[in-house]
Structure 1
Amino acid sequence: MRDDRAVTASDPVLDAPRGARPRRQHRWVWVTALTIVGLLLGVAVAAFAYLATLASSYDQAETMPTNEVFPTTRPPATNPKAVNILLLGSDSRSGLGGSVSDIRGQRADTMLLVHIPADRSGVQIISFMRDNWVEIPGHGEAKLNAALAYGGTPLLVQTLESIVDVRIDHVAITDFEGFKGLSTALDGVTVNNEVAFSKGGHRYEQGPIELQGDAALGYVRERYSFPDGDYQRVRNQQAFIKGMLDKLVSRETLTDPARIAASVDALAPYLAVDEGLDAGTVAALGLSLRDVDKSEILFLTSPTHGTGTVGSQSIVRPDWDGLAALSQALKDDKVPEYAATHTGQ
């Protein structure tokens, strides 16, 4: 049952890119970069320009059997040429060396739905707040990330699919430790930090800052330093990803295959993907995205009505009308149009 009681805080705004951007020549180098960032997010499994040399590194990633990833009840594939990838980030695991069954009982700290439209005109990355108060099939209302604890990855997929009414094609999970290793492999990432804060012996000043290693890990983890908690953490994680994109498409990275290989090596031990997201699938996806420029990657957050409480729990209240509009935009491949017309997206 959806609860429309008054909220206690407003939903902060995430700016989205607007309008068309000029395309570049030789977009194949961007496909390489996008793939490595995708590894961080769980989208991709090998850099396409270096697929032959990186395949063995990717093999370190854990493969999750289909029946341990997807539920038996699924929405129809209304837009079969589009691709939807669920990316889960966990802050409570140290690597993924054990069985995927160990994921049961954990809670997903970061949930991103990556939508790749049928015409491959861009990529849209949608953050879902982990504290969204939603109906979890078979368990009643609870925070969204509780679905993973109640029923593992299949129940979380089923819950999200019931919210957006769109089929999720692939799932990937990474531990936050992957941020640490990947940022070090890239010799640091420049992030445009919105809010100054201190945590764990690190000071994060407002404005452009350089992050790697433990400082990068602390940056993407922190939420208690901010009045709006997880909202700011989502913005910081998106800022980190944007900074990583810039570093990955820089000349110093694209002309250094050893750095690219080191990046994959750093992340693979912290990555698990469904068995359908193999190297061949990713290579084909990469070729289809060869004309995508980084300016055509859109970050947004699922619509909410801010925070509130249920009993003693602090929650995020979903904007169900906004989610219905987002669902239709996903089905119609019109997420940029949705973002341009919905305040705060």
Structure 2
Amino acid sequence: MRQRQRTDETDRGILPPDGSTPEPGGTGSEEPDGPGSTKPARRRTRRTRLVLLTALTLLGLGLALVLGSSWWAYEHYTGRVDRIPGAFPTNVPESARPQESAGGQTYLLVGIDRRSDLPTTGADAGGAVQWKPGAQRSDTMMLVHIPQDRDNAYVVSLPRDSWVPVPGHGSAKLNAAFSWGGPPLLIDTVQRLTKVKVDHLAVIDWSGFKKLTDAVGGVDITIPTTTPRRNGGRQWTAGTHHMDGEEALDYVRERHGLPRGDLDRTQRQQEFLKRVLDKTLSSGNLANPLKAKKLLDTVTATVSVDDRLTDSALRDLMWDMRGVRTRHMVFMNAPVAGFDTIDRQSVVVLDRGAMQPLWEAMRNDTMDVYTAKYPVDRLGDTAR
């Protein structure tokens, strides 16, 4: 009878299932909710735990959405970057091949008028892309060295009028190599000149870069001295100018009336590139989803890379260099001995002796040591 009574009390919630006597404040307790009661405190504790658990759950879901969106953006946009087939030279004699770099990677950055100048189809039966002589034009060539730690970058401009040996064509201006044989001949020429291995090729479409400039709201460029404008236009007056894409492109293509001709033009190109990168990487642009999408759409329509640079390698590069800004970069010109006229052409004469330590530092991934030891023609020192 006593056992049945305890069972009835358990079923009604008066006693716990094990039949033990309830603790004060527990199930079945008749403790009032008065001043000495522990019920309100316990209820507040339960509510606090519930709120914290809900907040952590929402935070976790939000983080998952952000990471998922970021990964989708990486996957989506790296996959949209155009690849250039057959960009590297073949059948290069072993004696002319560059040695492997000790660390880091070196990119050859080329600026062209229109990306449509680059063939994406039309390979012959052997798989080689047919580069049509004269179809491609470039007035911008830069070697961009990214150290192994990927904490900064070194940008070295090669003047387009540099008088150099072009394989199979004798000596000519550097930009003639691109015109005659596209990226393969240009890469072969640069590698034989510098003995630096070009790991990857990146091509900038200047017409697309003009759109990118407009997409970031224009750029501020400071002109140290008043200089003429191309095609007989009005002068570029000294001072800071806010330029849209069309004005900036006109500015960087000017070389007549500049004290150092092609050298000053390469520094203008570097300045333009730096300012656009500054605006593109600014938190205001990247933090706004709509602006970021527009910028990324424009960037992927502006830049092409060689087909050896995979999507995963491109994503790794972007991730590793996510904190690098233009203040971490060093911009400079290749050492120049002077100017000359050869075959009735105005040319730039490179300083072969002064170049050797530079290319050696690039091969050995010691550009920081080089820039600390040698005077370099840095961006901003003599730009006009």
Structure 2 length normalisation: TM-score? 0.69
Aligned 8 A contact 1:89 1:175 in 2:
yes
Does 2:84 correspond to 1:64?
Answer: yes
Which residue of the other structure, out of 220, 243, 246, is the alignment partner of 2:278? 246
Shift in CA distance, 308/270, structure 1 to aligned 2, threshold 3 Å? same
Tell me, in whole angstroms, the C-alpha distance in 2 between the residues paired with 1:103 and 1:58: 28
Shift in CA distance, 71/340, structure 1 to aligned 2, threshold 3 Å? farther
Shift of 1:303: 0.6
Tell me, in whole angstroms, the C-alpha distance in 2 between the residues paired with 1:104 and 1:159: 16
Gaps of 5+ in 2: 1-68, 122-129, 378-384
1:260 match: 292
Shift of 1:150: 2.6
Paired residue type of 1:64:
I
Task: Please give the per-residue CA displacement for 1:283-307, whole angstroms capped at 9, x wherever unaligned.
Answer: 1112322453432211011111121
- Alpha-carbon RMSD: 2.5
Shift of 1:190: 1.6
Does 2:98 correspond to 1:78?
Answer: no
Identical counterparts, % of pairs: 33
Shift of 1:176: 1.3
The structure with higher relative contact order (CA 8 Å, sep 6+) is: 1
1:178 match: 208
Shift of 1:98: 4.9
Aligned 8 A contact 1:85 1:168 in 2:
yes
Task: Please give the per-residue CA displacement for 1:75-113, whole angstroms capped at 9, x wherever unaligned.
Answer: 23132x41111110023x364575374564233200011
1:210 match: 242
Tell me, in whole angstroms, the C-alpha distance in 1 between the residues paired with 2:208 and 2:78: 13
Does 2:344 correspond to 1:312?
Answer: yes
Task: Please give the per-residue CA displacement for 1:258-286, whole angstroms capped at 9, x wherever unaligned.
Answer: 22221232243343211122331111112
Paired residue type of 1:69:
F
Structure 1 length normalisation: TM-score? 0.77
Tell me, in whole angstroms, the C-alpha distance in 1 between the residues paired with 2:331 and 2:272: 12
Aligned 8 A contact 2:111 2:203 in 1:
yes
Shift of 1:221: 1.8
Shift in CA distance, 324/71, structure 1 to aligned 2, threshold 3 Å? farther
2:190 match: 160
Paired residue type of 2:111:
G
SS in 2 for 1:109: strand
Aligned 8 A contact 2:210 2:245 in 1:
yes
Q: Is the helix fraction higher in 1 or 2?
A: 2
Shift in CA distance, 170/193, structure 1 to aligned 2, threshold 3 Å? same
Shift in CA distance, 71/130, structure 1 to aligned 2, threshold 3 Å? farther
Tell me, in whole angstroms, the C-alpha distance in 2 between the residues paired with 1:96 and 1:330: 30
Shift in CA distance, 219/76, structure 1 to aligned 2, threshold 3 Å? same
Shift in CA distance, 119/240, structure 1 to aligned 2, threshold 3 Å? same
Aligned 8 A contact 1:163 1:323 in 2:
no
Aligned 8 A contact 1:122 1:292 in 2:
yes
Which residue of the other structure, out of 292, 301, 307, is the alignment partner of 1:275? 307
Shift in CA distance, 284/257, structure 1 to aligned 2, threshold 3 Å? same
2:219 match: 189
Which is greater in Rg? Answer: 2
